[in-house]
Amino acid sequence: MLRFVTGNEGKLHEAREYLDDVAGVEYDYPEIQAEELETIAAYGARDAYEHVGEPVLVDDAGLFVDALSGFPGPFSAYVEDTLGVARVGDLVRREGNRRARFRAVVAYCDGETAQTFAGSVRGRIVAPRGEGGFGYDPIFEHNGQTFAEMSPQEKNAVSHRGRALASFSEWFAERQ
């Protein structure tokens, strides 16, 4: 069994779309501050493996806004907690250039291997719409719909995390 280290049911649901035998485990691993999502996720996976003692998956994701030189990027969770999603959206819409991308990195650690898999999706920042999703989903529009307006299946089919999980699942299946 593979353990996905998250307290977020939405993320766990996404993982189950790509992986057969995965269970969630809540563990608050230390999240280092770094410029690259790969560095953050790999560190978290190694730490989580030491705690759990079984193969683990950890993910880290961020919203990278073109007009803000990629900010908030790897600091997206902190910015969401301090400024809030609506204020980030307001700031970006005032800049004029609303292009952005979501990027996710899934890190796997089994005690021997620490491997990362990335996925991204382009879109633009809009006024908040929709009731679903979490985080920045209400202000991130892809192909005319915000992630919050999409069903979980629609979002998962195009999301940054879904793309990273698809890459991981292919790699993992070849190892089995």
Before 30, cis peptide (omega within 30)?
no
Distance CA 163, CA 176 (A): 20
Task: Please identify every residue annotated as catalytic.
Answer: 60
User: What is the C-alpha to C-alpha distance for residues 34 and 171, in angstroms, rounded to an integer?
Assistant: 26
54: number of CA atoms within 13 Å, CB side? 11
- As beta bridge partners, residue 63 has 73, 102
The CA distance from 125 to 45, in Å, is: 30
